[in-house]
Amino acid sequence: MSPPRVLILQPIHKAGTDALAEAGIEFVNAPDARRETLLALIGEADGLIVRTTGYRIDAEVMDRAPRLRVIGRHGVGVDHIDVRAAHDRGIVVVNTPEANSQGVAEYTVGLMLSLRRRLIDADRAVRTGKWTQRERLVGGELFGHTLGIIGLGRIGSRVGRIAKAGFQMRVLYFDIVRKHEEERALGVEFASFDEVVSQADILTLHTPLTPLTRNMMNARTIARMKPGACLVNASRGEVVEFDALVAALRSGQVSGAGLDVFPEEPPDAAHPILSLPNVVVSPHMASHSGESMVRMSLVAEDVVRVLSGKQPRNPVAPEAAA
């Protein structure tokens, strides 16, 4: 009897492939992550490991995979996986809920600092021989200002801890579930969504993509932001209505935005948001610390458990389907 086979759609850290090999499981790295490639290869896979959200793992994919028993999400968000369809077909979905929290939290604070202290502008000034721009590149501190967090989960709570302990910021948060323990431990304050949006000097988003959060920051909610506030998003691009954000950045209602995610990835190079000088962007890499990449690759260990007939440590419930 041949060993189980796992299809890996995008390269993962060697720690993950070592875990598969040590368990005697074959693995195949797809040559690319196009849907056509996935559909061509999935039929011989007992397990699937996926990374980015640029494609859907939906019923069509699963129906092409009669042997598929487990889908491993290298990361946390499962909005691109039809978890309900997987559950209905007896396919287990697993993820790595703790793996990238610290990396994304640190990156979020990095975006905050880049915006407030104008680090990207300063870098460009030196590289283009415009040293005297230092006189006008005057930013603002984080110290003592108000941070608003939408979503106080694993990442949001770590951002709050860093902001409170490191910069003595006032931290307001909104979450659909109030987090009394985190309030006591971190010194953060619960407030309504509108209160957080309207009082924050920096607003950072840490929510999953769901029907409730899609376009959560739109023309109406962005207009409620404190004039001159900054917006940071390292969650999902679709939680922000980009046309409304562009308008607010141009008008000065929002003074700057730090964006690691986009509604379409990669974004169109001609999208107006990429031409705005008060925007810092990155290619969906907030979780890409070396440490996080190792931890996320170890979703392979749960894939091994399922293929070995054992219970996974981090199963995703059907209710997580977007």
For 89-118, the pLDDT digits (tens) are: 999 999 999 899 999 999 999 999 999 999
**Model confidence at 322, in pLDDT bands (50, 70, 90)?**
very low
User: What's the pTM?
Assistant: 0.89
In this structure, what token pair is assigned to residue 168?
A: 């003595």
d(CA 79, CA 320): 8
d(CA 6, CA 71): 9
Judgement on whether residues 256 and 111 belong to the same structural domain of the protein: yes
- In this structure, are residues 207 and 215 in contact, taking their beta carbons and an 8 Å threshold? no
Judgement on whether residues 116 and 147 belong to the same structural domain of the protein: yes
d(CA 312, CA 71): 11
Beta bridge partners of 150: 174, 205
Tell me, what's the pLDDT at 178? 97
CA of 170: how far to CAs of 125, 145, 159, 202, 254, in Å?
Answer: 32, 6, 12, 11, 20
Judgement on whether residues 131 and 274 belong to the same structural domain of the protein: yes
Judgement on whether residues 294 and 271 belong to the same structural domain of the protein: no
pLDDT digits (tens, 9 = 90+) for 177-223: 999 999 999 999 999 999 999 999 999 999 999 999 999 999 999 99
Beta bridge partners of 92: 70
Judgement on whether residues 48 and 177 belong to the same structural domain of the protein: no
Please state the rounded mean pLDDT for residues 53-82. 92
Please state the rounded mean pLDDT for residues 38-59. 90
Judgement on whether residues 155 and 252 belong to the same structural domain of the protein: yes
Number of domains in the chain: 2
**pLDDT at 159 > cutoff 80:** yes
pLDDT digits (tens, 9 = 90+) for 227-256: 999 999 999 999 999 999 999 999 999 999
Kindly list the catalytic residues: 236, 265, 284
Backbone angles phi, psi at 221, to 5 degrees: -75, -35
Judgement on whether residues 31 and 171 belong to the same structural domain of the protein: no
CATH of the domain at 165: 3.40.50.720
Judgement on whether residues 258 and 121 belong to the same structural domain of the protein: yes
Judgement on whether residues 74 and 134 belong to the same structural domain of the protein: no
- In this structure, are residues 94 and 315 in contact, taking their beta carbons and an 8 Å threshold? yes
- 112 closest CA partner among 169, 174, 189: 169
Please state the rounded mean pLDDT for residues 292-314. 97
Tell me, what's the pLDDT at 77? 87
Judgement on whether residues 62 and 132 belong to the same structural domain of the protein: no
**Model confidence at 53, in pLDDT bands (50, 70, 90)?**
low
d(CA 95, CA 107): 21
Judgement on whether residues 85 and 185 belong to the same structural domain of the protein: no
CA of 259: how far to CAs of 31, 53, 283, in Å?
Answer: 29, 16, 9
- 306 closest CA partner among 95, 44, 97: 95
Q: Which range of residues forms the domain containing residue 150?
A: 101-281
Tell me, what's the pLDDT at 289? 96
In this structure, what token pair is assigned to residue 201?
A: 């000097």
3-class DSSP string for the chain: CCCCEEEECCCCCHHHHHHHHHCCCEEEECCCCCHHHHHHHHHHCCEEEECCCCCCECHHHHHCCCCCCEEEECCCCCCCECHHHHHHCCCEEECCCCCCHHHHHHHHHHHHHHHHHCHHHHHHHHHCCCHHHHHCCCCCCCCCCEEEEECCCHHHHHHHHHHHHHHCCEEEEECCCCCHHHHHHHCCEECCHHHHHHHCCEEEECCCCCCCCCCCECHHHHHCCCCCEEEEECCCHHHECHHHHHHHHHHCCEEEEEECCCCCCCCCCCCHHHHCCCEEECCCCCCCCHHHHHHHHCHHHHHHHHHCCCCCCCECCHHHCC
Judgement on whether residues 152 and 220 belong to the same structural domain of the protein: yes
- 230 closest CA partner among 119, 135, 68, 112: 112
d(CA 4, CA 268): 39
